[in-house]
């Protein structure tokens, strides 16, 4: 029952290695009552790559993340995560899949009654057999990674909005998942704080090899994450403009009326915007 | 007509969801993992935390019961029998029901508000995403605490009520202590004691499980949390009275 990142077989490891299909949606549909949220959505997230979902409020962006986590079940279609078909899994079976997933919820969703240390180390302390000292060390490490080491014993209520999101990122990455899901990670934050969150996303993607799905309607952040990359430079980390190959690893998907209205990289999105009034209106 | 059908469908859905939650909790009670720290914490919050209100309720109920029944018994020259009335009423009905109603107000609302807030701020979803079953982590510890602590609180409430009755009888009705306590013992049969001990298990379960169910079904932001809190108190208070009647009827059939 407890969440643990399971070792994959050598064959699966090779198949899901760099460029392999780590998350696959195949004609996934979902409706709430009479309202269609997703209508035969198909896409593939490759290992180490980033998918950025854009779309109006209620377009089904966050729903996709909840489907990947198994918090919702689709009405039709297949979903594969890490080589496992998850759309027909029970809650108990999903616990194993979730061992390799991290989710940064909108507003952070930190546990109010726990300290930052307990929040970040929750999965390690409560749901794994990692010795306490090792878990604690990992918590300090990830909090250092997001630049909040000195806040370790604070309560979430003592943190600013941006700090809460960074703690949420630290919590999501603490158990070293291969896939990270971000639900509106920068919404409601000032531009400077939003950039620090974007840089955390890039650091995890480019330095830790984490595959990411980012749901947002903050275009500036979306393009920043897609067109830049984190580079380790000695003890420092630089954020440079991505090479064309690297930029191709970040793909945009725009949802409209439950369907995919656009799928492609940042350059293609700008080109399409010149022809498509809806996408142009969305981008401008 | 359509509205009525919709209302019935919604009510049936709630009942179905409630029993699904109870079923999952029963399964969680006999399979690993157990969150022992949360269980201990809930025992303290529900048990120790409710002690003051239960002590006060029990004490003043016993006192007013002695006072009222003393004056009524006076009309028949039977003031010395006041202990019988106090003990029979406190042990069989007032102790369990008033304790349960107090716990429903304090604990039922607290659980619904806490779980409701966790629902609307995605903390429950975050728990699941982190690999924790909210039923095991949040619901089971609370239900276990309700099952164990409500009967204990009832015992405390009854004991304090009898003491309250004694104080009133001694000071206001001028009945000797020995007469009062002898009357208390004479007024009780073992069936009454069993009834007073068995009923709180059902009442405790009803209060906490309804609080958890309402909390986990919360939606609609902070307004929804407020609604959930009110619904939990109303539903669990009514449930206390209904379950009390049903269990009393059942126990009378089985024991008397």
Angstrom distance (rounded) from CA B218 to CA B227:
8
In angstroms, the separation between the Cα of residue B161 and the nearest Cα of chain A is 36
Q: Which pLDDT does position A8 carry in this prediction? A: 67
C-alpha B45/C-alpha B145 separation (Å) is 9
Tokens matching residue B6? 């919709």
On chain A, the residues whose CB falls within 8 A of the CB of B30 are none
Q: Is A66–B128 a contact, with Cβ atoms under 8 angstroms apart?
A: no
- Nearest CB among A3, A109, A127 relative to B126 is that of A109
State in Å, rounded, how far the first CA of chain A is from the last one.
47
Helices (H), ranges, B43-122: 51-74, 82-89, 95-103, 109-120
Say what the pLDDT of residue A5 is. 55
Tens of pLDDT, residue by residue over B135-157, are: 999 999 999 999 999 999 999 99
Q: A177: buried, middle or exposed (CB in 10 Å: 19+, 13-18, 0-12)?
A: buried
Of A2, A95, A107, the CB nearest to B121: A107
In whole angstroms, give the CA distance from residue B23 to residue A193: 45
CB pairs under 8 A between A and B: 60
CB contact, 8 Å: B13 with chain A? Answer: no
DSSP state of A7: P
Q: Which of A67, A118, A126 to mutate to test the interface with B (most CBs of B within 10 A)?
A: A126
Please give the pLDDT value at position A1.
42
**pLDDT score recorded for residue A6:** 59
For chain A, residues with pLDDT lower than 50 are 1-3
Confidence at residue A3, expressed as pLDDT on a 0 to 100 scale = 46
CB pair distance less than 8 Å for B126 and A69:
no
Where do the domains of chain B lie?
18-255
Give the H/E segment covering residue A17. Answer: none
> Does residue A169 sit at the B interface (CB-CB below 8 Å)?
no
Cβ of B131 and A103 within 8 Å?
no
Q: What is each CA distance from A41 to A91, A261, A263, in whole angstroms?
A: 23, 10, 11
The parts of chain B modelled with pLDDT lower than 50 are none
Whole-number pLDDT of residue B223: 93
Partners of residue A124 in chain B, C-beta under 8 Å: none
Residue in B with minimal Cα distance to A101: B129
pLDDT at position A7 is 64
Cα–Cα distance, A249 to A133 (Å, whole number): 37
State whether B122 and A126 contact (CB < 8 Å). Answer: no
CA distance A223 to A46: 19
- Residues 6+ positions from A157 with CB-CB distance below 8 Å: A112
pLDDT for the residue A20: 80
């Amino acid at each position: 029952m407890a969440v643990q990142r399971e070792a994959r077989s050598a064959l699966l490891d090779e198949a899901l290695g760099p460029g392999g299909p780590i998350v696959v949606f195949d004609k996934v549909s979902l409706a709430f009552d009479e309202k269609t949220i997703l209508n035969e959505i198909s896409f593939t997230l490759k290992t180490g790559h980033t998918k950025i979902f854009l779309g109006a409020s209620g377009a089904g962006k966050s729903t996709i993340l909840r489907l990947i986590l198994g918090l919702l079940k689709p009405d039709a279609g297949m979903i594969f995560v890490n080589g496992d078909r998850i759309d027909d899994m029970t809650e108990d079976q999903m616990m194993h899949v979730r061992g390799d997933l991290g989710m940064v919820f909108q507003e952070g969703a930190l546990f109010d009654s726990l300290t930052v240390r307990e929040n970040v180390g929750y999965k390690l302390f409560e749901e794994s057999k990692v010795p306490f000292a090792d878990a604690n060390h990992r918590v300090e490490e990830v909090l250092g990674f997001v630049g909040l080491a000195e806040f370790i014993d604070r309560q979430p209520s003592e943190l600013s909005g941006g700090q809460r999101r960074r703690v949420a990122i630290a919590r999501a990455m603490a158990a070293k998942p291969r896939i990270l899901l971000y639900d509106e990670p920068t919404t409601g934050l000032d531009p400077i704080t939003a950039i620090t969150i974007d840089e955390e996303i890039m650091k995890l993607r480019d330095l830790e090899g984490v595959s990411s799905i980012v749901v947002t309607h903050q275009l500036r952040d979306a393009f920043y994450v897609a067109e830049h990359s984190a580079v380790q430079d000695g003890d420092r980390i630089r954020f440079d403009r991505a090479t064309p190959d690297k930029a191709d690893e970040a793909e945009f998907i725009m949802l409209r009326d439950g369907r995919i209205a656009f799928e492609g990289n940042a350059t293609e999105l700008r080109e399409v915007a010149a022809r498509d009034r809806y996408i142009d209106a969305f981008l401008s | 007509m359509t509205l009525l059908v919709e209302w019935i469908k919604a009510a049936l859905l709630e009942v179905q969801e409630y029993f699904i939650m109870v079923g999952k909790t029963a399964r969680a009670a006999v399979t690993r993992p157990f969150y022992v720290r949360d269980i201990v914490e809930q025992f303290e919050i529900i048990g120790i935390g409710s002690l003051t209100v239960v002590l006060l309720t029990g004490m003043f109920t016993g006192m007013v019961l002695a006072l009222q029944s003393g004056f009524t018994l006076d009309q028949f020259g039977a003031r010395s029998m006041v202990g019988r009335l106090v003990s029979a009423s406190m042990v069989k009905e007032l102790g369990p029901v008033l304790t349960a109603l107090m716990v429903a107000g304090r604990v039922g609302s607290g659980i619904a508000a806490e779980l409701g807030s966790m629902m609307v701020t995605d903390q429950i979803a975050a728990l699941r995403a982190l690999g924790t079953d909210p039923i095991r982590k949040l619901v089971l510890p609370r239900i276990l605490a309700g099952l164990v602590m409500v009967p204990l609180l009832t015992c405390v409430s009854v004991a304090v009520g009898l003491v309250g009755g004694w104080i009133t009888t001694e000071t206001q009705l001028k009945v000797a202590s020995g007469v009062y306590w002898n009357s208390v013992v004479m007024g009780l049969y073992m069936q009454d004691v069993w009834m007073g001990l068995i009923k709180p298990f059902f009442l405790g379960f009803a209060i906490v499980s309804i609080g958890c169910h309402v909390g986990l079904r919360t939606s609609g932001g902070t307004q929804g949390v407020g609604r959930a809190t009110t619904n939990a108190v109303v539903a669990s208070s009514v449930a206390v009275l209904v379950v009390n009647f049903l269990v009393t009827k059942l126990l009378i059939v089985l024991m008397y």
